[in-house]
Each structure stands twice: as C-alpha cells, then as structure tokens.
Amino acid sequence: MKLLKLVPDDTNIKFLKWRIPFFAVSILLIAASWALVFTKGLNYGVDFAGGLEVRATFTQSAEAPVGELRDNVATLGYGDPVVQRFGEDNQVSIRVRLPDEVSADKEAAQEAANNIVSTLQGEYPDFRLDGNDNVSGKVSGEFRLTALYALLAAMAAIALYIWVRFEWQFGVGALFALFHDVSLTLGMFALLQLEFSLQIIAAILAIIGYSLNDTIVVYDRIRENLKKFRKMPLPELLDLSVNETLARTVMTSLTLLVALLPLLFFGPASLFGMVAGITLGLFVGTYSSVYMAAPILVWLGVTSDSFVPTETVLDQQEKKARGVV
C-alpha cells in the first residue's frame, strides 16, 4: 500500500527569497493588531471586566431582541449593559458592571441578578435563564494581572531555554515569533470583539506551545545543517532546513486542524472563542516558524561557525602531543 505524502521528499521551495516582503507584512499585521487592541479594546468577559453576567435563551423566538433587552436592563439603574448574542441567534449574554461594593457583596450581587431576571421574565414569557456569574472588580483586576504574568513568564522561560540550548540569536528569533503569534491572536479578538476570558488565556498558552514546538524542530535541523554544510550560504541552508522539516510541519498542522474544525463549527458556543483562537494560532504559528523564526537568523548574524566549539589552548597542546596538525 502506497503511503500518502502531502509533501514530496524533494521539495525545494525558496522560502528565504521572499523573507523581506513577508517580514514587512508581518510587522504591519503586528502593528495593526495592537492598534485594534488599543482603539477598539478587548471584549473582556466577566472574568476580566468584573460585574454580573446573565445568560439566557428565548425558547419561542428565532432571534433574541438584543436592542429591547439593552433598553430594558438600562432602566434598572446598573449602567449601560453589554448585550450580545451567545451561540444561537436566540441566546444572549447580558453583562453589567456593578459597583465594587455591590459586586463584593454576594447577597447584593445576587439581588441585582434576581432583579434583572425577574424583570426580563415579566417582559418576555419565553425567557429562560441558563446561568449567571458574578466577579468583583478587585478579583477581575487580579485575574488580568495573573494572566499577563503567566504569558510573560512563559515567553521569557521559552526564550531562556532556547538561548541555552542553541545560541542567543535563536532565543531572540523564537521570542519574536511568539510575540508575532500572540499579537495576531489578540488582534483577531479585538477586531471580531469575541469574548476575552480565562479560556482565551489557555488558548494563547496552547498557541505558544504549538508555535514553539514547530520552531524548535526547524531550529534543530538548522543546527544540524550548520555543522554538516560549513560552506553553504546561510539563506540556502535555512531554505534546506525548512524544506526538510516541511512534511512534518504540514502533517502536524493538518492533524490538529482535523480535530479543531468539528469543534469550531459544531462545538458548544462556550468553546467557540477558545477554539477560534487556537485555530488561528495554528496557521500563524506555522507561518511564523518559516517566515519569522528562520529569516531573523540571517539578520542576527548566525554563521556556519556558530556551533563549532572554540579550540582552547589545552586542546591545541593535546593535538600537538598527538601529532595532529
């Protein structure tokens, strides 16, 4: 039986030929992503924004009356609510920012939730409560800081590990590739205003892990080829290394994609943001391993001597004693 080969054994794609245009596009995408984050902002869930979230389904309606719900909840005196469809067209998520003293008091927060629910049940007979959550402003602020520290610690530890295992240029390249992947993921959430919750932090950490795995495979092959082909120009050697690992990269990405697509299209609505983030990360992680992590080594001055051990005076004396010139 002939095995399926998605990538031929003799691929010779000149990836590095287009490194400057692709690098420029990546820089523009990173800048655009952060511009979206700072202008439109992230649609924080209750985990990060604090306040009260009520999830409900209108069982006899094809679509939830989002505009009417926003007006009705606003009249209760809890400020401007954020009302969004959640999953199906007849499902909604209603979020309100409660004062810190109310949010910190469980009884007061529950009373506010009961007030919202009872009001909407009186207005809409087909209103069905699916759940509600309350997070105080202080706790949500701690969640944001903890999530930020987790991402920064993961990226710093990864850069340090690659620096020790390879060379400092490889650590910088891997860190830049990870920054690229995280930036584009945040940009997608800012652009589409998908809910940004603790689940998404888990998704970003998964993206970092996948992208790092891809990058290390490429870097390991580059290191081997630097020792084997001492006189080969670096761009050609990087092309060779990426082509040699291309089959493994494509197969890994497609395997993960086969698992993610059913969850993306048919999975529960509560997992949509997380799966969408990982799916995007799958593509940008593969892209960054080829067009971010590898080409940056050219500009950082990696040469064929980078992995050749420096000969000490003791080594020279030993070679002389053995008669080796």
Contact 33, 25 (CB under 8 A): no
C-alpha 95/C-alpha 304 separation (Å) is 57
The phi, psi pair for 132, rounded to 5°, reads: -150, 150
- pLDDT at site 189: 92
According to DSSP, residue 105 is labeled -
**Which residues in the chain are classed under CATH 3.30.70.3400?**
51-135
The fold adopted by the segment(s) 15-41+140-299 is Multidrug efflux transporter AcrB transmembrane fold (1.20.1640)
**Single pTM value for the model:** 0.73
Cβ atoms 304, 226 nearer than 8 A: yes
- Of 129, 306, 278, nearest in space to 210 by CA: 278
**What is the fold of 51-135?**
Alpha-Beta Plaits (3.30.70)
Q: Is the pLDDT of residue 313 over 60?
A: no
Q: Measure the CA–CA gap between 82 and 64, rounded to whole angstroms.
A: 14
**pLDDT-derived band at 28, boundaries 50, 70, 90:** very high
| Per-residue pLDDT reduced to its tens digit, 213-265 | 888 888 888 888 888 887 788 888 888 888 888 888 888 888 889 989 998 88
- Is residue 311's pLDDT more than 60? no
| 101 pLDDT more than 70 | no
pLDDT at 32: 95
Higher pLDDT: 48 or 122? It is 122
Per DSSP, what are the bridge partners of residue 96?
A: 52
